[in-house]
Amino acid sequence: MWGNESMEKENRSANFYDVIRERRSARSYDPSIKITEEEIKELLEEAMLAPSRTNLNPWRFMVFTNPAEKAKLLPIAFGQQQVVDASAVIVVLGDMEAYTAANDDHINQRAVDAGFMTNEIKDILSNSVKGYYESASEQSKKESQMLDGGLVAMQLMLAAKARGYDTVPMLGYSVEQFRKEFNVPENLVNILMIAVGKANGPAYPTVRRGVDEVIYWNGTWITANN
């Protein structure tokens, strides 16, 4: 699959509008399809181009491609077969320890080294976020994690689609059992599980509310009583 140059070109020129319209949650996968470690890393790199609060990159990813490891996920995900049949299951987590001035400084140092930021700007940024990190509640940090994690997860699903893969985001699993089974460190919070692979066929079409049902436009909800 990957490594074939014409495929690479084709995937990289996937039309953005097709990608967002054609992504559907797929639940039936071809178990014979393998995704290489290299391609999963490329996919994660693309996902990580997503924004994150003060660019802290708090995301962490637990990747499962090995059949024996994926099999452990089956009871944890209440028998959802896609965790076994999809080529990979990627669990998005967030590091609660990311919200420190030291981490902020560490990331911004890379921007300085890359010539994107001056040391002066780095220090101004560090000072401006320091107070927040020192006083932020666990609840507030967790809310940031869910936002940052949601954004990276969405980007991951779209990047996968652009490469010709299907996905399904999943919260239908026992976080408690998952954490126990895979010894998830205390500082990581679970955000979303995502199965990635080639669907056996088209996923169910789904509907959306009409755009006018959800908009408040300059003083008035366009449609009342939703």
Report the nearest approach of ligand FMN to the CB of residue 129 (Å). 28
CB 52, CB 59: distance < 8 Å = yes
The two structure tokens encoding residue 137: 């509640």
Which neighbouring-strand residues pair with 221? 216
The interface region with ligand FMN, picked from 20-28, 118-126, 179-187, 212-220 by CB under 6 A, is 20-28
Site membership for ligand FMN, residue 199 (CB under 6 A)? no
* Distance (Å, whole) CA 145 – CA 149: 6
Figure out which of the listed residues 91, 93, 168, 189 binds ligand FMN, where binding follows CB under 6 A: 168
Q: In which element (H, E) is residue 96 found? A: none
Report the nearest approach of ligand FMN to the CB of residue 169 (Å). 4
Q: How many chain residues touch ligand FMN (CB under 6 A)?
A: 12
Please list the alpha-helical segments (H only) found in 53-137.
67-76, 82-85, 101-113, 119-135
Site membership for ligand FMN, residue 175 (CB under 6 A)? no
Other CB atoms within 10 A of residue 225 CB: 5
The interface region with ligand FMN, picked from 35-43, 83-91, 114-122, 168-176 by CB under 6 A, is 168-176
Residues that bind ligand FMN (CB under 6 A): 24-25, 27, 80, 168-172, 192, 203, 206
